[in-house]
Amino acid sequence: MSNNSAKVFAYNQLKDEILKLKLIPGTKISEKIMSDELQVSRTPIREAFIRLAQEELLTIVPQSGTFVSLINLSLAEEARFVREIIETNIVGLCCENITDEISLKLEMNLKMQEMLASNEVGKQEKEKFFDLDESFHKELFICCGKERTWKMIQDMAGHLNRFRLLRLKDIKDLDWEILISHHKEIYEAILEGNRTKAEQLMSDHMRLMLSEKGVLLQEFPEYFYPQQY
């Protein structure tokens, strides 16, 4: 593996483990441990640590070590706010630009969401549902040629996405049907070309993202910055 390939691999793997909560908030990690785990030299690991610290997903404490950043609800709310503002406009554009190809992809995505929700759901399936949720929203950006805007949102959504995945995985009574119902209503409003309805539905949907905050703060206080509970 070339140095550049090792650098990209180390960064992507570490980021994925953080975002998917395989490395839980507050976990201490080291260059040696991650180098052994990923089977790359310590230089690309060190560079990945620096980059992830700049993205506020790792916290480097002098003389103490490197830790997976605790979930910062202020950063999560800011990312949610940005998504709400942008995605309400995105669905409006989709009402004017929806194609048969995108429509089919959204329809298939919704069917897979329903299929997952109808089964006995374990944590692995919940992660799949999260990925389907993300894919549904990403297709809306693709629909109106705004893929780079989606990437920009993802770059600032690390704390929000960890909260959302924790919510999906660990709240036993979370009603998936509400999430699926919202997606279906948004899709139908787009097909109808009803911009006002689609924008309102998306705004309402985005405001659900940080619901159950109190439940998670109570159940996992060690995952969050102390000043937030």
Label residue 121 by pLDDT band (50, 70, 90). low
Q: Are residues 46 and 112 in the same domain?
A: no
Q: Work out the burial of residue 80: count CB atoms within 10 Å of its CB; fewer than 13 is exposed, 13-18 middle, 19 or more buried.
A: buried
Is the pLDDT assigned to residue 99 strictly greater than 80?
yes
**pLDDT tens digit string along 74-98?**
999 999 999 999 999 999 999 999 9
Q: How many structural domains is the chain composed of?
A: 2
The pTM is what? 0.91
- The domain boundary residue, chosen from 15, 35, 68: 68
Q: Are residues 123 and 31 in the same domain?
A: no
**Taking a C-beta distance cutoff of 8 angstroms, is the pair 84, 207 a contact?**
yes
- The domain boundary residue, chosen from 68, 87, 114: 68
Residue 46's domain comprises 3-68
Q: What is the pLDDT of residue 229?
A: 46
CB contact burial 1-17 (16+ within 10 A = b; e otherwise): eeeeebbebbbebbbeb
Q: Are residues 117 and 14 in the same domain?
A: no
Q: What is the pLDDT of residue 215?
A: 87
